[in-house]
Structure 1
Amino acid sequence: MAAPGRVPTSGSGGSDSGILTDEKKRKRMESNRESARRSRIRKQIQLDELASQVSELKKEKTKLDYALCETRQCCLIVETENSVLRTRALELANRLEALKLILMQMDSVAVDPFYLNQYNYC
């Protein structure tokens, strides 16, 4: 006897429906397995790409660290040279001022040649 509201489609009762349901279930499970396999492959590819990026970034960091070290060394050399040059510039400025003072003193005591010729009795 059929359940209320259900009409059997064939003489065997619901066995054809059960076979179709089992087939659909099997196909769905197979499809899910395939989808999961593709998902695992995608994840592995993504993981490999990320590992490659990490490797490249580490290489780039090493190069940048080396360049930074070189730049710092150059900066120290330039700072040292700059300090020496500033000291030398101060020394030269002081020497120039001293020479200017000497010239001013010489100018103040120098006698005009015309003035000297007036008293020359030769």
Structure 2
Amino acid sequence: MASPQQNQSASLGSDGDPRYANLDERKRKRMISNRESARRSRAKKQHRLDELLAEINNLQTENNAIMKKIDGATQMYVGAASQNNVLRAQLTELSDRLHSLNSVLHIAQEVSGLALDIPEIPDALLEPWKLPCSVQPITASFNVNMF
């Protein structure tokens, strides 16, 4: 059991002076308060870190979804451009055929002396480069790897 002298020494402070008794108690309370404040600060910091990590995951998921949409749109564009090129080649071939057939009809008309009803070839078919849509290939690809 503690002796009366030890109890009196504890109430007087570490130096045995009653002026320091409250100082030691205040110091102990301040240390406890500082520890609790530091614990709350660490918990708050960890919570914010968890929020940021969750946001990173969400943004990466959104980014992947957008990249898939871009890839799909790019594939659709490439398919449409390819089909457009095929149609332009067919247009050129058919325009050449039509021009050749009209030439044959003109020659037949001159040779036979008969009046034939030969339709005129529309200008757009004879000059496909003047069509409203020009062929401009896009060779750039969009591929961004993050993280």
**TM-score, normalised to structure 1's length?**
0.68
Other-structure match for 1:30: 32
Residue 81 (structure 2) pairs with residue 59 (structure 1): no
Deviation at 1:15, TM superposition (A): 2.2
* Deviation of the 1:112 alpha carbon: 6.2
**C-alpha distance in structure 2 between counterparts of 1:111 and 1:66, whole Å:** 66
RCO higher in structure (CA 8 A, sep ≥6): 2
The Cα offsets for residues 45-89 of structure 1, whole Å up to 9 and x where unpaired, read as 101101211221222123123223322321232122112101101
Whole-angstrom CA distance in 2 between matches of 1:16 and 1:99: 123
| Greater shift in the superposed pair: 30-39 or 103-112 | 103-112
Normalised TM-score (structure 2):
0.58
How big is the alpha-carbon RMSD for the aligned residues of Structure 1 and Structure 2? Answer: 2.4
Q: CA deviation at 1:107?
A: 3.7
- Aligned partners of 1:41, 1:84: CA distance in 2, in Å? 64
Count of residue pairs brought into register by the alignment: 101
Structure 1: unaligned runs, 5 residues or longer: 1-13, 114-122
Runs of 4+ more than 6 Å apart: none
Equivalence map 1:1-122=2 (5 Å): 15-111=17-113
Cα drift, residue 17 of structure 1: 2.1
